[in-house]
Amino acid sequence: MSQVLVTGGTGFIASWCVLALLEAGHDVRTTVRDLGREPALRARLQAAAPFDDARLTVVVADLVADDGWAEAVAGCNYVLHVASPTLRAAPQSEAAMVSAARDGVLRVLRAARDAHVRRVVLTSALGAVGYGHPPRATPFTEADWTDVDADIPPYQRSKTFAERAAWQFVEEEGDGLELAAVHPAAVLGPVLGPDDPPSLRVVRGMLDGSFPACPPFGTSWVDVRDVADLHLRAMTDPAAAGERWLASAGPSLRVVEVAAVLRRRLGDRADRVPTRELPLPVARLLSRFNPRMAAIRPQLGHDYDASGAKAQRLLGWAPRPLDDTIAETAESLLAHTPVTTG
């Protein structure tokens, strides 16, 4: 099998990509910014799905510096570039966040090209597809791009600029390097430890009572394990090269609909989950004081409906039922960080 580099191995999506690759028989190398995080990373991965420890190598490389990237990609057939500045640990300014994402992508692509890597799969986001647009009746597809001239959040702006830069680099300087981009919708799914992925904060906030009512927005959702599966398909399928791929499990669901699934599937353990949707003006006011609401302020009042039909049709991707994903997300959060109910 192949040697694959996964950048940012401690991240939510990256960790599941590492597990999926190991399960598929690949040898995996993954980057961290601090080698002190390696023991905890290995322990979490082994607890989720035991594997031959020798098949996973952890190396140090940081997106903001050139050091370590040539060594990280050496001998690799493929690269999954998952790492990116996030809402969890973002630079202080929007300019710094955009620069870190764009420059980090270019560092990885240059190193991959110079090492004769066959294909890089870039983890982009729905945020590079569906932001800055007026309301629409049809789902977003891979043909859409976020409008960076609109009033959009720094993270979505950074993902858009980074992906644009990636495609331009491959076209002008790639020297045969192939690129595919995966765009996850709102990512749910089990955590591998006491982590706090930004994409799970809505579910966590409903479980622990941080939200007095459901935030007024909707989006398409997807299971992190299905996102990892799509990365592997985009890595090896000849049809995937040069293409963007939306990872969406279905039509948009309002948060209040997600809450209904939680209450139905968890019973008494979901007794703090709200049953009503907040009026938009109230939600915007609360976002000035409630930290969990503040984190999702840019989404309030919007509906991000995205279609995963292209990946299903051309790559054979088959996302799992969303109700199961929602329930398993909550079960995982309760198991790793128990939420007091009652």
pLDDT per residue as tens digits for the range 112-125: 999 999 999 999 99
**How sure is the predictor about 290, in pLDDT bands with cuts at 50, 70 and 90?**
confident
Res. 283: pLDDT tops 80:
yes
Tokens of 254: 């309002």
Contact 233, 317 (CB under 8 A): yes
Q: What is the pLDDT of residue 340?
A: 45
Average pLDDT over residues 184-202: 90
Please tell me the pTM assigned to this model. Answer: 0.94
Cross-strand bridge partners of residue 186: 221
The alpha helices in 24-153, defined as continuous H runs, are 38-48, 69-73, 94-114
Closest listed residue to residue 135, CA positions, set 304, 308, 251: 304
Closest listed residue to residue 253, CA positions, set 262, 245, 244: 262
Q: What is the pLDDT of residue 88?
A: 52
**How sure is the predictor about 337, in pLDDT bands with cuts at 50, 70 and 90?**
low
**Structural domains of the chain, ranges and CATH numbers in brackets:** 3-191+220-249+306-319 (3.40.50.720)
Q: Are strands 253-254 and 218-219 parallel, antiparallel or unpaired?
A: antiparallel
Range with the lowest mean pLDDT among 108-122, 241-255, 278-292? 278-292
Res. 292: pLDDT tops 80:
no
Q: What is the pLDDT of residue 87?
A: 53
Res. 338: pLDDT tops 60:
no
- Catalytic residue IDs: 159
Coil, strand or helix at 82 = coil
Q: What is the pLDDT of residue 91?
A: 46
Contact 184, 142 (CB under 8 A): no
Res. 304: pLDDT tops 50:
yes
**How sure is the predictor about 341, in pLDDT bands with cuts at 50, 70 and 90?**
very low
